[in-house]
Amino acid sequence: MSTRINPFPGLRSFESQDSDLFFGRENHIRELRNKLSATRFLAIVASSGSGKSSLIKAGLVPSLKREKLSGTASEDWNIILFKPGAAPIRSLAQALRKNVSGSESGFEGLEAELRAGASPVHELMLRTFPDRSTLLVIDQFEEVFRYGSTDENSETAQLIGAIMEMVRQPDSPVYVVLTMRSDYLDNCTNYEGFTEMINRGYYLLPKMNPGEIRQAIVLPIEARGATITSELTNRLIGEIGSSYDSLPILQHALMRTWDYWENQHTPQPIDKTHYEAIGTMQEAISRHAEEIYHALPDAKSQLATEKLFKSLIELAPGDIGVMRPMRLRKIMRVTGLSEELLTDVINRLRQQGVSFLTPSYTQKIDQESFIDISLEKIMILWDRLRGWISEETESAKLYRKIGLAAQLNQAGKTGLLVNPELQLGIKWLRDEQPTLEWAEKYDPYFERVVNYLDNSLIQYENTIKDSEDKQKRELKRARYFAIVMGVGSLMSLLFLVISLVLRYDAEQSRKQSVEKEKLALAERKRAEEQTRESISQKRIAEQQETIAEEQRLLTEEQRAIAVREQRTAEVKRLEAEIARGIAIVEKTKADSAQKRAEMQKDLAVKSRALADLLRIQADSSRREAQTSQKDAEAQRGRAVARSVAIQSYQMSDNSQEGLPALLAAQSFRLNLRTGGRKDNPDIFKALAKVADTQTILRWHNGEVRTVIRQPGSDTYASAGDDGTVKVWNADLGRHPGVQTFSTGDKKVPLRSLAFSKDGSQLVAGSATGALYAWATAQPAGGPSKVIQAHSGVINSVLVNPVSGQLVTVGGDGAVRTWKITSAGPDSVQNVKSGMEFFCARLTPDGKYLACGASQGRVAVFDLADLGKAPDIHSYFGFGNRVTALAFSPDGTSLITANSAGMLYQLGFSGKTIDRIGSPLSGRHTSPVNDIVFSPDGTLMATCSYDWTVHLWNYENIANRQVQPILLDDFDTWVFGVAFSKDSKQLLACGADRTVRVWDIDPDSLYQQVLRKVDRDLTQDEWNRYIGRDVPYEKSVKKSDVQ
């Protein structure tokens, strides 16, 4: 079949040469002719995207050439069409010059005459074309207000004056038609007499009715010898509904649908499958823009595209991001990019069939050209651009906030920034790298803002340094204190020993004094006995004195002896008294020494207790300091490990003697030794690259839309646009044998897939709404049952883990339950919600069904009473469209993803979703297509249109400091993900017609890397890649290899 020319212009307006394809405006053209004949002036007013330009260029102008206008002398018309831009007089002069001479060359003289008012346009037309009427069409007249000023001497005022002069002249052959957006109508009141002229030629463009829209859809297709189904036509009419400004969106969707249908080379009419394949009116622009974005030659061009669009964004009142036109010269200054790079990107975005930017691809651009978005709705429909607008808006708001703080600081009304505001400001300055021209859009004092941030950072760093110095001083003081307390403890122990010795000496002294006292008492007693005996002898002597004189001498002698003995006894008594006194004194001294010893003992105990307390404090301070030092060393070690991993990853595969493997292995070991996570993204990428365990399965002949694993088994299945399901059960590390289950029609795109609970049946949902069932034991035959289950794409096929019941959810908003029999699914219940569903998941207990919908909604159905209206939740994190969701294994959390690539974790209990959720780090940059948890519940994987798969450790999913592992091996969209039974491998499918398998267990990857290593790092390699300050060690240990 030969290729036919696409009958739809897309986002650009219809041109005069497209008049044979312009339908549905016949009544409006007739009304325009009548009004133009009566007033010689038309002002067609309507909102952006309502078809004003197309109506003039492909409707009114060809009509005037085909049929004479009442009041004109000739059917021959001279048509002059131009857009005023920022220099309306120059644009008019160039258009006139080109019309008269066929070239714009030499327009400068005419421009000077027009500015001076020396050569009115109507006189020029009379001289040049005396037998013809001239139609001067000023398209997008609002540009004179957007780019110009209201000054009475401005070019805007000159152009309006020239228009009024042309129309007022009764003999003027010039008819004037202008198109203008309705939101600029008030600007016309600033020019005297122009409002009255607008009122005479005013034409508010009516909305096309369903019959006219049907003609605009069907008749161009039939003019190219093709047909479109009435079902799709009715759907398009319904989708455009009462919207006044969606005609370019409709034309773009039809253009893309035609291209897709033409590439299929099918004799069948254009139908909803072709329309849905391009994303419908809702997603066609976003998908088209993504194709162009990803087709750019390199990352530099993609960054230039982002900067280009962000440069056109400004903050409107209320801090709302809007897009304003800007000269290319200023865009170059704002973005800091070269003219060559910007021009290349702009030309790609305004080429034929694209037209996302203006001016048209037919016009050459230079540095003075104004660049603008062609349709405001692109800002809403292109997800990536919406994200850029949000980022630029937040960046501008932050800059304004810092600028205000800098102004107040300069006036002495506030201090320098502190954390966290300082870190936000520094991160913004580092990441955004704003130019002076960009800053002037929001705050002209850019240098003041930068100096304010620099001064704040200097103060912060000085504070940190002072804090570190203080910590060091306190640590040093703690060490000195610990030494002093240690010496004090030793002195206390010495005092304790001395006191014990003194106490012992005192005790011995006391014992000696007691013994002496006892001896003295004994001597005294003996002395007293001798005294009594002497007295007795004296009495006997006195009695015998009278008896015998002769014994007198003897008696005297005995008496003398007695006296001597008495004296001796007295001496002994005195000695005993003295000894007793000495004993008492000694006892007193001993008691005093004992008391002093006890006091010394108490003092030693208290000193030891104080020393112990101070030692404990010193030990605590030392341990804290050691812990801080260990933490710092561990953090540095982890940083070194990541750096080594990045170096390994960036090396070529043929690097010298297995160096990437050595560095990858060493980074893994160093990271674990310093307390790092096994699933660190940088280290994982290095291990995965060296291990090279990825398996690519190329079984499908079309885009692979879904991949699943049968719960509890090692059986896998995938389905795609080739109308087949592939089933295999084998080692994922090798290419296993595969079974094919076919729909019988290669053009039936499958979108969703599920195994029955017992694994005996396989059920798939298609983009056409058909449900296919196969017996897994009979792959050779066709489907055992085919049911037209939905009127639109079946986005989800689910099996209740408890009841085994089948649940299907479609884009038509229907939720259906089925009983799986040996003959296939039998319908149980069919509920129509009236919403458009994109995804669905069952809770782990099988009680509830959550469906992601348009307009940022999640509907929760109670499966016990499906007919009951669902609970509708619409929260901030859901965005415009909930494109994927999943329940945590314990059913207490719901993970949602939206069309902007954002993911949120929300609490779930019963049918209730917590209103406040936690955004996850590592967001995607395009809509998320699938979310899956691993069988052991420790991992979560997501995939997206941004060509990537993200892998999270679920334990750390709420920690925004922990980034997910990013798998970016696909070079196109990724549609589905699944885990192996042991949770150690991950599967993903995409638009490149493949199913890819990765080994995601870090320990396994490490062992595989070790098997590729047969040497150790040399000392020079260690110093170069790891660092001299890290002790050298062997990279490979035999015990590591299993």
The dihedral through the CA atoms of 164, 166, 172, 173 has a sign that is negative
Phi, psi of 466 (to 5 degrees): -60, -40
Work out the angle between the directed axes of helices 328-335 and 339-349 (0-180°, nearest 10): 120
Phi, psi of 741 (to 5 degrees): -115, 120
Question: Per-domain residue ranges for the chain?
Answer: 25-207, 281-444, 449-624, 705-832
Type of residue numbered 36 = L
Neighbours of 491 (CB within 10 A): 13
Residue 749 near residue 721 (C-beta atoms within 8 A): yes
Question: Rounded to the nearest 10 degrees, how much is the dihedral formed by the CA atoms of 658, 659, 662, 665?
Answer: -100
- SS3 at position 167: helix
Tokens at residue 112, please? 């000077």
Q: Which one-letter DSSP state was computed for residue 57?
A: I
Tokens at residue 118, please? 């020396």
Q: Which one-letter DSSP state was computed for residue 89?
A: H
Residue 172 near residue 166 (C-beta atoms within 8 A): yes
Residue 820 near residue 807 (C-beta atoms within 8 A): no
Q: What is the CATH number of domain 449-624?
A: 1.10.287.950
Q: Is 592 left (phi over 0), alpha (psi -120 to 50) or beta?
A: alpha
- SS3 at position 204: strand
Q: Tell me which residue of 933, 945, 950 sits closest to 998, measured CA to CA.
A: 950
Structure confidence by residue, pLDDT tens digits, 20-47: 888 988 899 999 889 888 888 999 988 8
Q: How far apart are CA 232 and CA 212, in angstroms?
A: 16
Please give the pLDDT value at position 76: 80
Q: How far apart are CA 957 and CA 324, in angstroms?
A: 39
Q: How far apart are CA 61 and CA 38, in angstroms?
A: 17
DSSP annotation string for 881-938 = BEEEEEE-TTSSEEEEEETTS-EEEEEEETTEE-SS-EEPSS--SS-EEEEEE-TTSS
DSSP lists the bridge partners of residue 41 as 176
CA distances from 743 to 383, 717, 746, 769, 792 (A): 34, 15, 7, 13, 18
CATH class in words for 705-832: mainly beta
Please give the pLDDT value at position 530: 67
Q: How far apart are CA 98 and CA 81, in angstroms?
A: 10
Please give the pLDDT value at position 430: 81
DSSP lists the bridge partners of residue 811 as none
DSSP lists the bridge partners of residue 809 as 796, 815
CA atoms within 13 A on the CB side of 923: 19
Q: Tell me which residue of 10, 691, 645 sits closest to 361, measured CA to CA.
A: 10
Q: Which one-letter DSSP state was computed for residue 750?
A: E
Residue 960 near residue 976 (C-beta atoms within 8 A): no
Q: How far apart are CA 1007 and CA 671, in angstroms?
A: 15
Q: How far apart are CA 360 and CA 373, in angstroms?
A: 11
CA atoms within 13 A on the CB side of 467: 6
Q: Which one-letter DSSP state was computed for residue 678?
A: T
Q: Any idea which fold 25-207 has?
A: Rossmann fold (3.40.50)
The dihedral through the CA atoms of 832, 834, 840, 845 has a sign that is negative
Residue 765 near residue 754 (C-beta atoms within 8 A): no
Q: Which one-letter DSSP state was computed for residue 21?
A: G
- SS3 at position 659: helix
Work out the angle between the directed axes of helices 659-673 and 681-691 (0-180°, nearest 10): 150
Q: How far apart are CA 187 and CA 184, in angstroms?
A: 6
What is this structure's pTM? 0.47
For the stretch 133-154, what's the b/e string if a residue is b when 16 or more beta carbons lie within 10 angstroms of its beta carbon? bbbbbbbbbbbbbbbbeeeeee
- The count of residues in the chain is 1042
Q: How far apart are CA 563 and CA 566, in angstroms?
A: 5
Residue with tokens 């499906």: 866
Please give the pLDDT value at position 1042: 42
- SS3 at position 509: helix
Q: Is 214 left (phi over 0), alpha (psi -120 to 50) or beta?
A: alpha
Residue 441 near residue 314 (C-beta atoms within 8 A): yes
Residue 851 near residue 859 (C-beta atoms within 8 A): yes
Low-confidence spans in the chain with pLDDT less than 50 = 1, 118, 1038-1042
Name every residue whose Cβ is closer than 8 Å to that of residue 215 and which is 6 or more positions away in sequence.
23, 24
Q: Tell me which residue of 11, 121, 75 sits closest to 377, measured CA to CA.
A: 11
Residue 1011 near residue 1041 (C-beta atoms within 8 A): yes
DSSP lists the bridge partners of residue 896 as 885, 904
Please give the pLDDT value at position 535: 62
Tokens at residue 693, please? 């365990």
Please give the pLDDT value at position 293: 92
Sheet architecture: strand order including 785-788: 750-755, 761-766, 770-775, 785-788
